[in-house]
Structure 1
Amino acid sequence: MSELLTIGVEEEFFVIDPRNRRPVNDITALLESAHGISDGSDSYSAELRTCMVESKTGVCRTLTEVRDQVGRLRSGLARAAAETGTRIAAAGTFPLADWRHQDFDTQPRTKFIVDRYARMARTHVMCACQVHVGVADPDTRIQVMNRVRPWLPLLSALSASSPFWMGEDTGYASYRSTVWQSWPMGGIPPTFGSDKEYRERMRTLVATDIIADIGQIYWDVRPGTNYDTVEFRPADACTTVDDTVLQAALCRALVLHALGELDRGAQALDVRDEVLRAAKWRAARYGLAADLLDPLAAELVPAGALIDRMLRMLRPALEDVGDWDEVIHLIDRKKVDGTSAERQRAIVTGGGTVEDVADLLVRQTVSHQQGGVRVDE
């Protein structure tokens, strides 16, 4: 079963002018340089806003491959940025970004989004990390989606990296998550009985002009639109490579656990929608810095205790694919270092400025571990 569980990761980055620490409005030169570094492959592409760029790994089968590819792609993008006088930064929001000064790309699909969603789209200057886990059968993908829903808020909390918006502290660890909740197809999805039901309901949304195509389903988990995968989307852009690797490991383990339940004929646990929505809100509000809502038990528990509950559940799956030791190491570091949102806030509460936060994000985006030694690009 684990042989099917390949991983692919998509990461979004802000492109920053180091002179004023603001996002740029043209990444054409950066993309040309990045494509040259990657031998013209499709590893890098433009995003919705002209201040953003996306990287895509190939198909990975181990966490080592994920770490190597994510690190290599970040290093290549950082070199391309340096060649063009810019920098890259990974965070759900960038503290000095101002949506009023950021342009959109010129694709027809983007025009539909801006016209249809109006100010909601115009203010959207945010980056995310998506993890694809390979699942071949369409109906199985739907059943996996139904079963991983209770853990999507915790994935969001672990990745929280968007406390600042237009120079101000929002009070949220993942402000990006709260904004996505307002989109018609954002947040945690409903459950579906089959792939056929899912497709029929999506056709209704297209037919009624709510979305232009099925790719505009922005739920925290969905069937992959271009690949035979379950695609996880709750995470803010992960500031560090470690955070990305942790997301990839947990997403694959959740899928493997769900597949095991399906093989055993175990019933999916019933989680009330209002409890799940509340859990997602609390994860966005506090990240790991306060008690979180366990949707299965419908009770508040310390964030560390909720992480431990998830790890107890996922241990067989993590051991099955050889990821247990690395995940425990990454979780232990997370409990000490905190989320990116906590690290960003610590700069300001310690007397620093949002400009200092911007510098921190740039540094940590291109800093990664190789063989236990930290490497700074």
Structure 2
Amino acid sequence: MHVRMGVEEEFHVIDASSGLLVPEAPALSADLPAETFTGEFQLSVIESRSGVHSTLGALREDLAAIRGTLVEAASEHGLAVVAAGTVPLVRGDSLGFAADERSAKMADEYQAVAEEQLICGAQVHIDIPDRDTAVRAMPVVSPWLSVLLALSASSPFWQGADTGYASWRTMLWQRWPTAGPAGVYRSAAEYDAAVRALVRTRVISDPGMVYSDVRPSDHVKTLELRICDACPDIGTVVLIAGLFRALVVDACRAVDSGDPPAPAPDGWLRAASWRAARSGLEGDLLDPSTGAPAPAGQVVRSLLARLRPTLEAFGDWEAVTAAAEAMLTEGSVARRLRNRAAGASWREVALALADSTRGGASAPATRATSSTSEARPSAA
């Protein structure tokens, strides 16, 4: 099998001494290659784009080298970077927005929602035959996306407090008008018409503001996963990429067969995401096979069993299973962060997150080359 994937990772920029989130992404971006790194809506966030790869091993090497480049550049500015849904230390006043007309309009329209968009995610792009298939595959993969969210959950802390959630980023993200389930469409034309109708409402300004859990790319033939927190450990990102690729491949087969499963109701999908954001891997998840709650380990293993033939076809079964079982044993990132935070200051927690992010980095000179000459994926 030859189905390629790419990853976009968002990173918080923090002061390397205080651990405080700072609006220094533009200064950092200026020292980095524009084809790999870009600024975001908030001035405290920088995004990286991997190459496009056919194997999880090549993807891991690329992500490690990208982080190495970013970590080195940050250190030269007295900064550090954090790959997590949120960071615990944020000052009270605005950190500012990108200096372009679109960002200014968003800041003015969305007010506090925009001000508090101090979150980071990891997006995965998977090759898809065409946009019609991508659109029809969305409801097939959607019931399992909450499991991927639970695996990524890394944002229990917000503004110097424990929120009680494994992914508080999800709660902040869902306040945008287009966040959540992707919906059900018969074709790319029908999907595009629905997006144009949304833009005409002027609640959103352009198709790039469709923030659904999964969406077809506008400019490359991929299906994009958007539900996950950024992950301190590169291994978690690679695990999620492997699982999502298998989900997408199986969904395309179901669409091609002409008999895909009935879509789950939006209400159930929202409930499943909330459950995953609330408890991560430490409580129940909603099991798409039954619609009912079940222990997280049982649901994760159910997903693995479902995807085993496809994971084996890619040569991913052993690596993906080992990574998933390790997470189930060790607990979610959120639980590990809480354990680390016990008796520590918020500054120490923020810097520990930076250390975890740095831990998977490799020297910039070892950067893996893309396994394709095609352009890198890019989210709007």
TM category (shorter chain) comes to over 0.9
Question: Which residue pairs with 2:133 in the alignment?
Answer: 140
Alignment of 1:244-255 (within 5 A): 244-255=237-248
1:209–1:139 distance in 2 versus 1, CA, 3 Å = same
How far 1:359 sits from its partner (Å)?
1.8
Alignment of 1:62-211 (within 5 A): 62-98=55-91, 100-211=93-204
Query: Which of 35, 38, 55 is matched with 1:42 structurally?
Result: 35
Q: Deviations over 1:175-213 (max 9, x none)?
A: 111122221100122111111110111111111112111
- RMSD value over aligned CA atoms? 1.5
Query: Which of 14, 19, 27 is matched with 2:12 structurally?
Result: 14
Question: Which residue pairs with 1:38 in the alignment?
Answer: none
Question: Which residue pairs with 1:354 in the alignment?
Answer: 346
8 Å contact kept, 2:67–2:361: no
8 Å contact kept, 1:148–1:255: yes
Question: Which residue pairs with 1:338 in the alignment?
Answer: 331
Alignment identity in percent?
A: 40
Matched residue SS, 2:327: helix
8 Å contact kept, 2:281–2:332: yes
Give, in whole Å, the separation in 2 of the partners of 1:304 and 1:31: 40
Could you tell me which runs of 5 or more consecutive residues in structure 1 were left unpaired when the two chains were aligned. 36-40, 371-377
1:295 aligns with 2:281: no
Question: Which residue pairs with 2:228 in the alignment?
Answer: 235
1:32 aligns with 2:30: yes
8 Å contact kept, 1:275–1:295: no
Matched residue SS, 2:147: helix
How many residue pairs are counted as aligned between the two chains? Answer: 362
Provide the TM-score with structure 2 as the length reference.
Answer: 0.92
Give, in whole Å, the separation in 1 of the partners of 2:359 and 2:54: 23
How far 1:368 sits from its partner (Å)?
2.3
Matched residue SS, 2:93: helix
**Larger proportion of strand:** 1
Moved more, 54-63 or 24-33: 24-33
1:316–1:91 distance in 2 versus 1, CA, 3 Å = same
1:27–1:181 distance in 2 versus 1, CA, 3 Å = closer
Give, in whole Å, the separation in 2 of the partners of 1:99 and 1:268: 47
Question: Which residue pairs with 1:321 in the alignment?
Answer: 314
Matched residue SS, 1:230: strand
Provide the TM-score with structure 1 as the length reference.
Answer: 0.93
Q: Deviations over 1:211-264 (max 9, x none)?
A: 111111011100013321100001001111011101111110100111222333
Give, in whole Å, the separation in 1 of the partners of 2:315 and 2:299: 22
How far 1:279 sits from its partner (Å)?
1.0
Q: Deviations over 1:325-353 (max 9, x none)?
A: 110111121112222211111123x3222
Structure possessing the higher relative contact order (Cα contacts under 8 Å, 6 or more residues apart): 2
